[in-house]
Amino acid sequence: MSNKKSIGFVLGGLIAFVVAGCDNDQSKIDPEGPQPPPSNEEVDSAKATTPETEVEVVEIVEAVPMPAFDVSTLPGVPARDWSQTDGGSWFATVMPGTGDETVGNETGAVTVRISLWQEDGTPIFLSSEVVEDPVFPMGSDMFPGWNETLAGMRVNEVRKIAIPFEQTRILNGQGFVQTIGFDDEQMLIGDVKLVAVDAAEPESIPQPAVGS
């Protein structure tokens, strides 16, 4: 009986020693030192508790000015991608050119293949009714909307132009169409192809009969 008690006492002491040793090892872990990698359970738990944040991407698009008039109802060739001049006229490049370039306020002349209408479709001048392409002035001898909408054009370029009546006034205060017999104060619409930039004096503008 005494031997069994002795053996039990020894085993009890040994277990107490081992447990105490484990406690001492745990107390020696440096909290600021390298830490053991997290367990799979800890990783899964972190994923489950961390909310996903959606990032909204905002695209900044520069506003492009659009004409107040309905471009789909204009006479002549259709056009898109309109640009507004400082004076309030509009133009759209239908076909780019590669030749010499015009300067809007420079006094001179240009040879153009041109058709002009009032906004309601009434023809003023049609390229199909003339044998030779006319030479029109540029600069102070022409109305502001013409100089602005043709500025920067290159030879062989085709533009659609839309010029408010106020921008068609010439030196005597009349609108361009009024000088050739039209009384309506409508927007001037044109299809213009730049044929040449000329130094020659412009010819007189052909004047088709009113209502033709």
Q: Which of 75-79, 153-157, 199-203 has the lowest mean pLDDT?
A: 199-203
At residue 206, does pLDDT exceed 70? no
51-73: average pLDDT = 78
CA dist 120 and 189 (Å) reads 9
Contact in structure between 151 and 191 (CB atoms under 8 Å):
no
158-163/188-198 β-pairing: antiparallel
180-202: average pLDDT = 85
User: Is the torsion defined by CA of 116, 206, 164, 93 positive or negative?
Assistant: positive
User: Is the torsion defined by CA of 43, 44, 46, 51 positive or negative?
Assistant: positive
Nearest residue to 175 via CA among 127, 130, 124, 138: 124
Contact in structure between 161 and 91 (CB atoms under 8 Å):
yes
Answer with the residue of higher pLDDT: 161 or 16. Answer: 161
User: Is the torsion defined by CA of 135, 196, 79, 131 positive or negative?
Assistant: positive
- The CATH class, in words, for 71-198 is alpha beta
pLDDT digits (tens, 9 = 90+) for 118-137: 999 999 999 999 899 999 88
Domain residue ranges in the chain: 71-198
Mean pLDDT of the chain: 79
Can you name the residues that pair with 196 across neighbouring β-strands? 111
CA dist 210 and 212 (Å) reads 6
Note the pTM of the prediction, 2 decimals: 0.65
pLDDT of residue 102: 83
At residue 100, does pLDDT exceed 50? yes
Name the band, by pLDDT with cuts 50, 70 and 90, for residue 180: confident
pLDDT of residue 30: 61
Q: Which two tokens stand for residue 104?
A: 């809007």
